[in-house]
Amino acid sequence: MTNLNKKVALVTGGSRGIGAAIAKRLASDGASVAITYAKDASAASAVVKAIESNGGKAVAIQADAADVEAVKSAVEKTVATFGRLDVLVNNAGTAIPKPFEETTLEEMERVIDINIRGVFVTTQAALKHMNDGGRVIMIGSAVGERAVAPGLVPYAATKGAVKMFTQALSREVGSRGITVNNVQPGPIDTDLNPASGDWAVPQKAATALDRYGHVEEIAAMVAFVAGPESSYITGANLTVDGGMNA
């Protein structure tokens, strides 16, 4: 695949899980890829090495999505390294599963700062560099549309906000030829949401396909939305959830 040749992508939270799969997929489609990470430099450098050993170009940048200045500087470093920015994937996100009434203010703020404020700030910084054909892609969640289980109240609320952010922003940047879309995963087997254990049982049972998804199944949708064939799709919430919200 070469339909992202000469394009530059920034994937936030690209060192593990869904973000790492997206980074590898966009690189194999021809894009030069910058990834951010919060803590795990060795995981981030493993993703860069995997892309480079496949003939691609990649760079890893430490930037906590909750740190406004770090996020802005990650966007500038991406442009300084690769000369432009065509695709932003707002993937960094977190959940702190627990009953709402036991959730502390600090925990609520952490989820909001990463899942919403980080997305706003990164997108604003990236839009300064985007031109016709630009792509802003959120990784929302199927629970941003339908809350299938208890324990995810602030998380679901932030992903609902990401959904409306996508729709509203698409109205502002459409005239510049930039599309804005929200890929909404269902249960995907990652460190954040492992397919084994008690927590996984009701999630798996809620899917029509009776299984967790794989990170590559989200990366495939992101690659399509990042590519030229999705040119008339914007302001859309694209659910990839094995039928969980059916």
**182: contact with ligand NDP by CB under 6 A:** no
7, 10, 19, 182: which one binds ligand NDP (CB under 6 A): 19
Neighbours of 159 (CB within 10 A): 27
28, 36, 166, 182: which one binds ligand NDP (CB under 6 A): 36
**39: contact with ligand NDP by CB under 6 A:** yes
**160: contact with ligand NDP by CB under 6 A:** no
Please enumerate in sequence order all residues whose Cβ is within 8 A of that of 217, keeping only pairs 6 or more positions apart, or say none: 188, 240
Taking CA atoms, 200 is separated from 9, 40, 92, 190, in Å, by: 32, 25, 21, 11
In the complex with ligand NDP, the residue whose CB is nearer, 3 or 72, is 72
4, 9, 65, 87: which one binds ligand NDP (CB under 6 A): 65
Q: Six-digit token pair at 180?
A: 């804005």
8, 114, 127, 180: which one binds ligand NDP (CB under 6 A): 114
Dihedrals φ, ψ of 36, to 5°? -110, 160
Q: Six-digit token pair at 15?
A: 């060192």
Interface mask toward ligand NDP for 86-105; x: CB under 6 A: -----xxxx-----------
**116: contact with ligand NDP by CB under 6 A:** no
Q: Is 37 marked active-site? A: no
* CB distance 222 to 185 below 8 Å: no
| Smallest separation, CB 186 to ligand NDP (Å) | 6
Taking CA atoms, 126 is separated from 65, 73, 195, 241, in Å, by: 14, 10, 34, 28
In the complex with ligand NDP, the residue whose CB is nearer, 40 or 109, is 40
Give the number of C-alpha atoms closer than 13 A to the C-alpha of residue 88, restricted to the C-beta side.
33
Please enumerate in sequence order all residues whose Cβ is within 8 A of that of 73, keeping only pairs 6 or more positions apart, or say none: 63
Q: Which residues 183-202 are close enough to bind ligand NDP by CB under 6 A? A: 185, 187-188, 190-193
Dihedrals φ, ψ of 130, to 5°? -90, 145
| Smallest separation, CB 132 to ligand NDP (Å) | 28
| Smallest separation, CB 13 to ligand NDP (Å) | 2
- Strand 237-240 with 179-185, pairing: parallel
* CB distance 91 to 119 below 8 Å: no
**137: contact with ligand NDP by CB under 6 A:** no
**154: contact with ligand NDP by CB under 6 A:** no
In the complex with ligand NDP, the residue whose CB is nearer, 17 or 154, is 17
Q: Six-digit token pair at 131?
A: 């031109």
State the residues that interact with ligand NDP by CB under 6 A: 12-19, 36-40, 43, 64-66, 91-94, 114, 139, 141, 185, 187-188, 190-193
Residues with catalytic function: 155
